[in-house]
Structure 1
Amino acid sequence: MIRHGQSAANADTSIYNRVPDYRIPLTERGVEQAKATGERLKRALDGQQVCVYVSPYLRAYQTLEAMNLGDLTERVIEEPRLREQDWANFQIAGDIEDQKELRNLYGHFFYRFREGESGSDVYDRISSFMETLYRHWEKPTYAPNTLLVTHGLTMRLFCMRWFHWTVEYFESLNNPGNGELRTLLRNDDGQYSLDTAFSQWVARSVDDSVLDAPPVRF
């Protein structure tokens, strides 16, 4: 999985006011981040082909283009279920900032943006995508590797669904940086492990539940 490179909105959030989220492009720095990650991925693939699922957002497509995987790409499938969390059609900066503060208080997984989605909504569509992915993997001609070109929150929720992390543990995790790669590696016993853990802003165990959360004062 790769998070798209730096976008124009990562550099200047005011662009959300006038450009649809799915049309926001990469910056020059974002292109360079994607190129560097592409080189690392090509070394890791070591000549093996990869089937690519890409978010329909411009910044995701530009990230894939900059990675320049060439003949290693078996095929590219546009996958809308890998899109960014929907916040609003056009995001009014002040309103979104107020909602972000509310989200921090309420919780990132359950808080639903007005005119948008909650993290749990994204989790549900990721679950649906995984069912499709399993069916694709059953095909004998499928490539030996899979690449998801997507977004930070979507990557975290994919791993949450894959590894059955609790909501409380998910809440403790930070997004990967722009252009960062995370890989699920299959072990000899057929199980998968994550090569690099997501950083945490607060210490939580993968088994922690709401019972382990600090009590709410009211």
Structure 2
Amino acid sequence: MRLILLRHAESLGNVDERAYCRIPDHALPLTPRGEEQARAAGTEVLRLLEPGPVAVYVSPYLRTRQTLQRMALGDVVERTVLEPRLREQDWGNLQDEGEQLTLKQQRQAYGHFFFRLPLGESGADVDDRVAAFLSELWISAADPAHPTNVLIVSHGLTIRLLCRRLFGWSIELFESLSNLDTCEHRVLDRHGTRWQLDRPFHQWRDSPDDSVQR
């Protein structure tokens, strides 16, 4: 089985953080640069998928759906599932510009995994729904009709937590890793019961518990 994890292309929120104060997070569109990124990613993903079909699981947010559309994967897609459990961490409706920076500073000091946004989720909440998604995916993938290639189009923190679950990474290691860049991907291949990552995530500090990406 092969998993391709792709972060959405550049969105309005990536270039203008004040956009979160006037547009719902789920409705933020791609920028023109993001549309170009997605088209380029489509070519690369098609190369990775040869020769078989793919099952696509995509966050229902506008930017992830637009990314998948611009990728133009065509007939290689056997099924597409809009999966709410792959959505971005919930910050709680429209954000307040005055509170945005304060909350991010508090989260950085407290820890991205356990810090609960006042009207939204903690990283641990996202971890729980990612675990539920993976459990259901393994059940679906046991059906011989399910493609062995799986593309997941999601968000930065969500993708890191998917990998945390798959590889059993510690929370300390998770918090030491950076999100993928917009439209960056990772490929995971399964060999027996073990998963192999094609290349590590950028690590901005050594993990306090000395654990490493495996």
Classify the TM-score, shorter chain: over 0.9
In structure 1, stretches of 5+ residues that fail to align are 210-218
Q: Secondary structure at the match of 1:177?
A: coil
Do the aligned residues in 1 keep the contact of 2:172 with 2:207 (CA within 8 Å)? yes
Deviation at 1:206, TM superposition (A): 7.8
Q: Is the 8 A contact 2:68 2:153 kept in 1?
A: yes
Q: Deviations over 1:80-100 (max 9, x none)?
A: 000000012001122021010
Q: Secondary structure at the match of 2:37?
A: helix
Gapped runs of 5+ residues in structure 2?
Answer: none
Which SS does the other structure have where 1:63 is aligned?
A: helix
Equivalent position amino acid for 1:195 in 2? D
2:14 match: secondary structure: helix
1:200 paired to 2:203: yes
Q: Residue type matched to 1:12 in 2?
A: D
Aligned to 2:69: 65
Conserved 8 A contact 2:166-2:195 = no
Contact 1:84-1:150 at 8 Å conserved across structures: yes
2: distance between equivalents of 1:76 and 1:164? Answer: 27
TM-score, normalised via structure 2 length: 0.94
Partner of 1:27: 31
More strand by share: 2
Aligned to 2:183: 179
Instruction: Determine which structure has more spread, i.e. the larger CA radius of gyration.
Output: 1
- RMSD (Å) for aligned C-alpha atoms: 1.4
State the aligned residue count. 208
Q: Which residue of 2 aligns with 1:51?
A: 55
SS of the residue corresponding to residue 199 of structure 2 reads: coil
Q: Percent identity?
A: 48
TM-score by length of 1: 0.92
Q: 2:146 matched to which residue of 1?
A: 142
| Greater RCO, 1 or 2 (C-alpha within 8 Å, sep 6+) | 2
